[in-house]
Structure 1
Amino acid sequence: MSRFTHEVHMRWSDMDAYRHINNSAYLAYLEQARVAMFFYRHENFSSGTVIARHEIDYLLPVVYDPQPLQVQMWIDGVRGARFTVHYEVFDHGRLVARAATQCVTFDFTVDRPRRLSAEEVEVLRGFADDAA
């Protein structure tokens, strides 16, 4: 499968005093896109994922626009209880940010990480970037 793409809309309130989208808004954009990706193929994915780490490289400033940002995502680094979601964020076709989120599968009943099932690994591998 190629990259998963999702559009996210900016809010006027996402702008800061410097008249560009504030860096903190990107976490919400990434979350919206990540949730959309997981709901796209959730049939074999158990509940219980927490975020262990975010990394964001801001490449160009973004000014509010009613046109949505395009977020392209793919997954790699699938291990026993973790995986990494990678993102490239585009504004009007320009690459404006790169990011990565390390996710850990979690069992909330015992309050600790849990291993990915074979079905979950298969779902995640379906989001691998063929070009990477």
Structure 2
Amino acid sequence: MKAFTHRVTIRWSDINAQGIVSDAVIASYVEETRAALIREIAATATEEAADRRLAYLTVRQCIDYLTPVRWQEQPLNTYLRILRIRPAATELQVRIGSDAHPLARASIVSVCWDTVRNRPRCLTDTQRHMLVTYLQPDPARSS
């Protein structure tokens, strides 16, 4: 299965005096990648689901900073894969940088939230089908 890919631009304001991107900005790159996937999911929502004003909330995020991210002119590649799909939540992993040179890796749990009823809402079959495109269970995890 393929990973969802996204490119983020390192802005001059993202770096410190040594030319290194701050950890808080790395977290924003992870969020930007997740948001790009959510926009794709939201585009598949039915009118009924859209009427409920769904939100996709991050309920857990853990980032491993593997090596300093330095400013570069070309956009930075990020890759998102789905580790597990639950009825109302997904477990995600975002990698910043290539397989050969990973810069950071984040583990995220995202929940589909019904803002009208103020509780989790199950993903639609269409949304699940789209997420399965990026499903790559972690072989190190036992299910």
TM-score norm. by structure 2 comes to 0.79
Hey, what does 1:32 align to over in structure 2? Answer: 32
Which structure is higher in helix share?
Answer: 2
Q: Which one of the candidate residues 105, 110, 131 is aligned to 2:117?
A: 110
Q: CA deviation at 1:39?
A: 3.0
Check if 1:101 corresponds to 2:101. no
Unmatched 5+ stretches in structure 1: none
Q: Is the 8 A contact 2:83 2:137 kept in 1?
A: no
Note closer, same or farther for the CA distance 1:112–1:131 as it changes in structure 2 (3 Å cut). Answer: closer
**Residue 124 (structure 1) shift:** 1.2
Indicate which of 39, 46, 71 corresponds to 1:64. 71
C-alpha displacement of 1:28: 1.4
Please say if 1:23 is aligned against 2:27. no
Match of 2:14 in 1: 14
Is it true that 1:74 corresponds to 2:81 in the alignment? yes
Could you tell me which residue of structure 1 aligns to residue 2 of structure 2? 2
Misfit runs of 4+, over 4 Å: none
Q: Are residues 1:124 and 2:96 paired? A: no
SS of match in other structure, 1:105: strand
User: Offset at 1:106?
Assistant: 0.3
CA distance in 2, matches of 1:41, 1:82: 13
| Offset from partner CA, 1:65-96 (integer Å, 9 cap, x none) | 121111011112211211112111117x6211
Contact kept in structure 2, 1:2 and 1:130, CA below 8 Å: no
Aligned match for 2:91, one of 79, 84, 100: 84
Distance verdict in 2 for CA 1:53–1:17, change over 3 Å: farther
| Deviation, structure 1 residue 121 | 1.6
The one-letter code sitting in structure 2 at the alignment partner of 1:6 is H
Count of aligned positions? 131
Q: Does 1:51 align with 2:61?
A: no
